Chain A
Amino acid sequence: MIGEALTYVFLVIGTAFNTLGIIGLLRFPDVYTRMHATTKMTTFGTTFTALSVVVYAVAMFLGGNSVMFPSLALHTIIAALVLAFTNAIGSHALARGVHKSGCMPEPSVVDRLEGVLP
């Protein structure tokens, strides 16, 4: 019972943060701010989606169901970890590439990196 409620809570949190990330992608004015929205919020949302699956699998396993649920939970945890690492590194690489390609942050207060790179 409590497992079901927790699963729904985590699913709703995950989907809400994914939605906010996409709204930020559509709404923000330049590449870097869009990257803020997508990287942080979709990673967080997908982690919570994975967490809901883990909670569901643990609850099903404790309820005495089939044997596949522990491996489901383990694989989901590994998927979430892999996703968090690759998203962080990938967005850093993208930001660096975009800045090297000459696309400066458009509404910007200060840019200490300008002129430092060759």
Chain B
Amino acid sequence: MNIMWMPFVLVLVILVLLALVRLFLGPTAGDRAVSVDTVNTLVVAILILLGVYFKEVIYIDVAIVFALLSFVGTLFVAKYLGGEL
């Protein structure tokens, strides 16, 4: 069973670049934070696909840890925007 994973990874990478457009344009700080949050989600998807492409489970562990750590980062940005930090 040969699945072509790489085209989907490429599409996701292009989506990350498009999300970075909003990071560049975004009029307020909130837009930029939302864009970074989106990039984090897409990076998790890319890591899962790369893990199954290279047949290495460690990529998926990295994806789990990345999801948790980026969540902490998002919470800090949100606290900072709300002026509670």
CB distance from B27 to the nearest CB of A (A): 9
Count B interface residues, CB 8 Å.
Answer: 47
Report the bound CA distance from A82 to B55 in whole Å.
21
Q: Are B45 and A49 in contact (CB under 8 A)?
A: yes
Q: Which residue of A lies closest to B79 (CB)?
A: A97
Q: Are B64 and A79 in contact (CB under 8 A)?
A: yes
Count A interface residues, CB 8 Å.
Answer: 52
Known A8-B3, A82-B67: A42·B60 in contact at CB below 8 Å: no
Residues of B within 8 A of A86 (CB): 67-68, 70-71, 74
CB distance from A48 to the nearest CB of B (A): 9
Q: Are B12 and A18 in contact (CB under 8 A)?
A: yes
Task: Name A83's contact: one of B1, B11, B35, B67 (CB within 8 Å).
Answer: B67
Give chain A's interface residues, CB within 8 Å of chain B.
3-4, 7-8, 11, 14-15, 18-19, 21-22, 25-26, 31, 34-35, 38-39, 42-43, 45-46, 49-50, 53, 56-57, 59-60, 63, 68, 71-72, 75-76, 78-79, 82-83, 86-87, 89-91, 93-94, 96-98, 100-101, 103
